[in-house]
Amino acid sequence: MQIKSLLLLLNFVLFVAGLQAQANLEAEFDKILENRFKPDQPGAAVLVAKNGKIIYLKAGGMADLERNVPLRPDHVFRIGSVTKQFTAVAILHLAEQGKLSLQDEITRFIPDYPTHGKKITVEQLLNHTSGIKSYTNMSAWTAEVQRKDFTPAGMVDFFKNEPMDFDPGTQWNYSNSGYFLLGYIIEKVSGQSYATYIEEQFFKPLGMKNSYYDMPEDIIKNRAAGYQPGAGGMQNAPYLSMTQPYAAGSLASTVEDLFIWTHALHSGNLLSAESLQKATTPCILPNGENTHYGYGLQTGNLLGSPTIEHGGGIHGFLSHLMYLPKEDVCVAILTNCNCNGPQLEAAKLAAIAAGIPLEPPSIPLDAAALEAYTGIYENSKGEERVISVDGGVLYSQRSGGTRFKLTPYAPDRFYFESLLARAWFKRNAAGEVTVVSIGDRDDADNPWEKTDKKAAARKEIKVDAAVLEKYIGEYELAPGFNLKVMKEGDQMRAQATGQGAFDIFAESETMFFLKVVDARIEFFPDENGMVNKLVLHQAGQQIEGTRLK
């Protein structure tokens, strides 16, 4: 009797501990969501699943700012390029049925397609090595054109005569045109429209009841509105005819439906093991470069754990769908503004769910040891990265980019503050630091060689308060994108549309620099001393801003 009571007590203790662990996990997820998505702004729906079960399902922010509708997890979002994995799986379905081969030339299905004497295969469309220019990169794809409806054949005609970016199979370049062509091939082979094929082959059989080919005229319950930052705050995203993204980006879904899809795909319920392996194996170019892209899916690394994922971006919406096969963790984030990219949040949620520490324990390094890493580093593209010490802390700043704190966690190894990225330094035989490899989420395969260049020292100077007052105002850098210059106490600050405010420091009476971002702001007083113009110097560009107020 006593043993039975002890067992019951032990079970109760374990049950309570499990509830506490779940509450702690939920609190960590909540913090990530709340830090990024504010209650009165466009927001996100978020799902985290592990071992085939949903462990977190929430939404934050607004689904409709005009009608004051809060977001719920069952809201329907445009998923943009997450569509591509549906298209890729559809092609593999047809291949498994013997209706096409991945090595088929596209002229088998579109005989009049101009290949410029080159052989372009279905597989090259799938892995973005076809060399076909993406129509979204064409200067002719203007805001006016984006509002027009096209038939699939008409859209193919819109881009098919563009020059090739490169010979097929020799390079990698993300191409929405390639996936548009895949949708057209699906129609040719199946005899159904792309929308019908996807619905009948995937949505209905899998029970994805809230997934659609998103057409504005259709009634879709719980459809979230899409937004973008504007001069006066948030504004409705510009209209885009959904005939144009098509098989490259026209689907809409919920986070729960995307989990159903992901679980079915990686459980082997949609494709044979051989086809799934092809889809999730990155293409290696002839020069040995790893593209980290399979068929509609990207392969990556999350702090040592393999990932299969893809993001999406379309007018007013950004999305990310990530799967960790080793830990069986799925994360889906759908947002209704093109201002809050969810990729970093998805990675953080996945890491927490998988039990992977976001930041390893730090180790102490004195100022002298940190100085060994400082200098200007250069990559194979000629881009520069400055590693510097400020106040006993090591920082990394790419040319034109943000300055990030580096924290040591092992000999010659550092992690980036607020990012899931790592910096690994290498030394020569004499013990001198010569190379730093920067790894997004710890996949450190991006080497930067240390140079003999010296960083130009920027010295702050004091400028008369009356002069500073003339610079205060709002300047238009581009339609809908402004730079606000303000003064808080004695400190000048600048804030771009949709971004946080940063301190700026004078190096001359008219030139100011930022410390957190490699950028400078230059003011231009006229002959009367009035300031109606500034120039933002960043990443080799000079962007002129005209004063609005």
User: Are 177 and 243 spatial neighbours (Cβ–Cβ below 8 Å)?
Assistant: no
Confidence band of 443 (pLDDT split at 50, 70, 90): low
**Diameter over CA atoms, the chain:** 97
Residue written as tokens 């959904």? 242
- The reported pLDDT for the residue numbered 118 is 94
Residue 185 in contact with residue 106, Cβ under 8 Å?
yes
- Alpha-carbon dihedral of residues 263, 265, 270, 272, nearest 10 degrees? -130
CA dihedral angle for residue 243, residue 245, residue 247, residue 253, rounded to 10 degrees: -100
pLDDT band of residue 444 (cuts 50, 70, 90) is low
Q: What is the pLDDT of residue 19?
A: 47
Nearest to 449 by CA among 394, 396, 387, 376: 376
Using an 8 Å Cβ cutoff, are 425 and 438 in contact?
no
| Predicted local confidence at residue 297, as pLDDT | 98
Q: Is the pLDDT of residue 499 over 80?
A: no
**Cβ-based burial of 103 (10 A; exposed 0-12, middle 13-18, buried ≥19):** exposed
pLDDT for position 15 = 41
Tell the residue number behind the tokens 């993406």, with chain if given.
Answer: 134
How far is it, in rounded angstroms, from Cα 262 to Cα 323? Answer: 8
Quote the Cα angle for 331-337-341, to 5°: 45
Tens of pLDDT, residue by residue over 270-300, are 999 999 999 999 999 999 999 999 999 999 9
Residue 445 corresponds to which tokens in the numbers above? 């395969």
CA–CA dist 316, 314 (Å, integer): 6
Confidence of residue 16 (pLDDT cuts 50, 70, 90): very low
Residue pair 330/323 in contact by the 8 Å Cβ criterion: yes
Q: What is the pTM of this model?
A: 0.81
- Place 22 in a pLDDT band, splitting at 50, 70 and 90: low
pLDDT mean over 416-422: 86
Task: Dump strand ranges (E) for 379-518.
Answer: 384-390, 393-398, 403-410, 413-416, 421-427, 433-440, 447-450, 473-478, 481-488, 491-496, 501-506, 511-514
Share of the chain above pLDDT 70, in %: 94
Confidence (pLDDT) at 381: 81
Q: Which amino acid is at 493?
A: R
Residue 12's pLDDT is 46
pLDDT in tens, 351-360: 999 999 888 8
Integer CA distances (angstroms), 446 to 221, 300, 533, in order? 45, 14, 39
Which domains does the chain possess?
Answer: 77-354 (3.40.710.10), 367-450 (2.40.128.50), 465-547 (2.40.128.50)
